[in-house]
Chain A
């Protein structure tokens, strides 16, 4: 079945770049998403990429998609302490339906 895998934890220093990685198995996925979850809060959609794109940049965020390897990454430039949160990778199970399949999340800890 479909599966989305993420490393559970990443620690960086303030000002460094963070790279959060994700692998997925469903080759028919159409959109891939990154969500951010801060403590006690719901999920905030950070960015997304369509499956026919290789890269998308949005201010400090860069998403890279390697469709051949089914690998997605989120790079956060100039990471700030306010970026500390859990980041979830998600994909749509199929294009017409849009139910999301989530990874278990990567906890990003940014130290001063």
Chain B
């Protein structure tokens, strides 16, 4: 596709369950970012991948959060033992290079009951 895609678009889960969110960046984009947007808030940085370098995980809020990226393609964000405060929209962005403009996907709305 032409843009960043994310799946699922909506996810409802029960407290304590694990969830996986997927991001397909724009082809050829080496940098990939995950952000979280809580209701009425701006975006919080979570994690950043650049090519084959070690990811910057400094924004991950707890060790229940992890993310992987295979090469310069798909990324998955995993939240283990979900809590109600994890409810948010999770946005993925990619950019063609380090320092390039970020293009955002439509997000995954996660609701933890």
Contact = CB atoms under 8 A, between A and B. Distances in A.
Interface stretch (B11-19, B37-45, B63-71, B77-85): B37-45
A8 to B, nearest CB: 8
Which one of A43, A45, A90 has the greatest number of beta carbons of chain B within 10 Å? A43
A48 B56 contact: no
Contacts, number: 55
Contacts of B35: 100, 102
Given A42-B4, A99-B33, A104 B101 contact: no
A39 to B, nearest CB: 11
B48 A42 contact: no
Nearest to B95: A98
A: contact size bracket: 20 to 34
A86 to B, nearest CB: 10
Nearest to A4: B42
B43 A48 contact: no
A30 to B, nearest CB: 9
Contacts of A99: 33, 45, 48, 56, 59
B: contact size bracket: 20 to 34
B4 A100 contact: no
Nearest to A88: B42
Contact of A45 (B33, B42, B99, B101): B101
Contact of B43 (A95, A97, A100): A100
B42 A42 contact: no
Nearest to A41: B106
A94 B112 CA distance: 34
Given A98-B95, A98-B98, A100-B45, A45 B56 contact: no
A100 B106 contact: no
Interface of B: 4, 31, 33, 35, 40-43, 45, 48, 56, 59, 91, 93, 95, 98-107
